[in-house]
Amino acid sequence: MTVRLFDSLSRELIEVSPVDGETVKIYSCGPTVYRYIHIGNMRSFMLGDLIRRALRFEGRNVQWIMNITDVGHMTDEVSDTGRDKMELAEADEGLSATEIAEKYTNAFLEDSDLVGIERADLYPRATQHIDEMIDLIKILIDKGHAYEVDGTVYYDVTTFPGYGKLSGNTLAQLRAGHRQEVAVDPAKRHPEDFALWKKAGPNRALKWPSPWGDGFPGWHIECSAMSMKHLGERFDIHTGGNDNKFPHHEDEIAQSEGAVGHQVVSIWAHGGFLQMSGAKMAKSAKNVYRVTDLVEQGIDPLAFRMLCLGTRYRSEMDFSWEALEGQNRRLADLRRRVASWGDAAAELSEPARELDERFREAVADDLDMPRALVVLNETVASKLPGGEKVALLSTWDDVLALDLLREARERWEPTDEMRALVAERDEARASKDYAKSDELRDRLQGMGLEVMDTAAGTQVRPRT
Ligand code: AMP
Ligand code: ZN
């Protein structure tokens, strides 16, 4: 079964097939790290993780990277005084810009762990790729796509005929909008041009030398430079939240394709927003929660993941505490049931295989997780032997990542035979008979166990 994803650019479902013939390469727009990320951001970050899991589920090799924005975000993140939000956070918290970035990057990673996002293969930082961004800007100037005015470099959008193809914000559309506006930067050739590099003002501390003088990069150029550096000039999937389509990804396409002269990203996948009672969840609206806020309310953070899986990733989703508490109870109940079904069966009957097929088809069909959860519910309620249900759910958990076997693991006890082998192994180790101890370890592993050497001797538990 081949995973199909909705491509926001062609507005079609596209089969995922790696351009290099080997590894599916995914780039996700990551967090801006001058503040804690909220559960809305988390919903968008989960999309990259879910795509990776779905692809692995069908046996693909996957490389997933997510950038960390630790400078820039100039359109909305630079305050009126011309200081980077990183710098303002620095002043507020008495930490250096590097320490702020470190603090919120770590918090972001810990929160990601809590909602079952497996760590990406790489988290490239914008501040560590300034040279690559400068090189890309130089290429864009050489190719006539960009121009410098007094230390600031702009992208000339009229040189890229496809501008607007992702978001629908074509130049004609944008111009109609601009007529109503008053202030347009007089240095720009066209009001729609956007900055690739910005001259540092007198208050600016976070700045770097460049061929155009001291300055700092635009937010969009960071993702063009880092995605192509780490994934190559053609890669498979680029993710972000819906709000990233414009201007961020529209500008990224103009930059990357302008520089290399061909399509770079095969599939653009965008996630719908998480809303609070119909309003956008945003720090400015003061309706944001962190994952740790859920934990403080006694909620298992994976219940939030389950809540998200209940809505198709492209749709907007309304957050409510009632719905979250409902999922929290459901998840606990599900884990209790799994624990009551005993060990996983080695073989699946025909009806179980059919359910597995339907689950896989739902996942492959543009991540139709609500449908996959319906199959899960049917399985739980079915008359299949418990062992087969455990076998199915434990496999499906590679995608769901709800830790469905948690209670089964906690309740698990070794059999008498396992206890005897463990005791025999501890004796062998005590008498330094390592050949025998290794042989016993292999036998225990052959029973599906993980074997750990601890200070208290051999410990075993079911392999997950
Ligand atoms: P930021 O740190 O502001 O750059 O945001 C990081 C990511 O979170 C971006 O990809 C946004 O599209 C996404 N995002 C921001 N707010 C929400 C929300 N309420 N629901 C879903 N995604 C969001
Ligand atoms: Zn980005």
Whether residue 68 has its Cβ less than 6 Å from ligand 1 = no
Q: What is the pLDDT of residue 78?
A: 46
- Bridge pairing between strands 146-149 and 265-271: unpaired
Is 31's C-beta closer than 6 angstroms to any atom of ligand 1?
yes
CA atoms of 371 and 368, how far apart (whole Å): 6
pTM of the model: 0.91
| Separation of CA 117 and ligand 1 centre (Å) | 16
C-alpha 347 – ligand 2 centre gap (Å): 45
Q: What are phi and psi of 156, to 5 degrees?
A: -90, 100
User: Which residue's CA lies nearest to atom 12 of ligand 1?
Assistant: 241
Any bridge partners for residue 215, and if so which? 199, 208
Question: What pLDDT was estimated at residue 185?
Answer: 77
Ligand 2 geometric centre to CA of 216 (Å): 16
The minimum-distance atom of ligand 1 relative to the CA of 37 is: 2
Q: Which residues lie across from 83 on neighbouring strands?
A: none
Of the residues 115, 117, 243, which should be mutated to test ligand 1's pocket, given the most ligand atoms within 8 Å of the CB?
Answer: 243
What does the pLDDT read at residue 79?
A: 45
Helix axes 97-114, 39-57, angle to 10 degrees: 60
**How many angstroms separate the alpha carbon of residue 322 from the centre of ligand 2?**
33
CATH code at 4-271: 3.40.50.620
Nearest atom (ligand 1) to Cα of 274: 20
Distance 185 CA to ligand 1 centre (A): 27
Contact 223, 27 (CB under 8 A): yes
Does the C-beta of 72 come closer than 6 Å to ligand 1?
no
pLDDT of amino acid 182: 54
Strands 457-462 and 215-217: unpaired
| Location of each CATH 3.40.50.620 domain in the chain | 4-271
pLDDT at 463: 78
Q: Which residues surround ligand 2, an ion (CB under 5 A)?
A: 29, 223
- Dihedral sign (CA 130, 135, 139, 141): positive
Average pLDDT per consecutive 10 residues, the chain (464 residues; last block may be shorter): 96 98 98 94 98 97 97 51 67 82 96 98 98 98 98 97 95 78 78 94 90 95 98 98 97 98 98 87 80 97 98 96 97 97 94 98 98 98 97 98 95 91 95 95 92 91 78
CB of residue 41 inside a 6 A radius of ligand 1? yes
Atom of ligand 1 nearest to the CA of 33: 2
The whole-angstrom separation of Cα 258 and Cα 139 is: 9
Q: Which residue's CA is minimally distant from atom 6 of ligand 1?
A: 31
CA of 28 to the centre of ligand 2 (A): 7
> What is the CB neighbour count within 10 angstroms for residue 413?
6
Tokens of 65: 């990277």
Q: Which atom of ligand 1 is nearest to the CA of 275?
A: 19
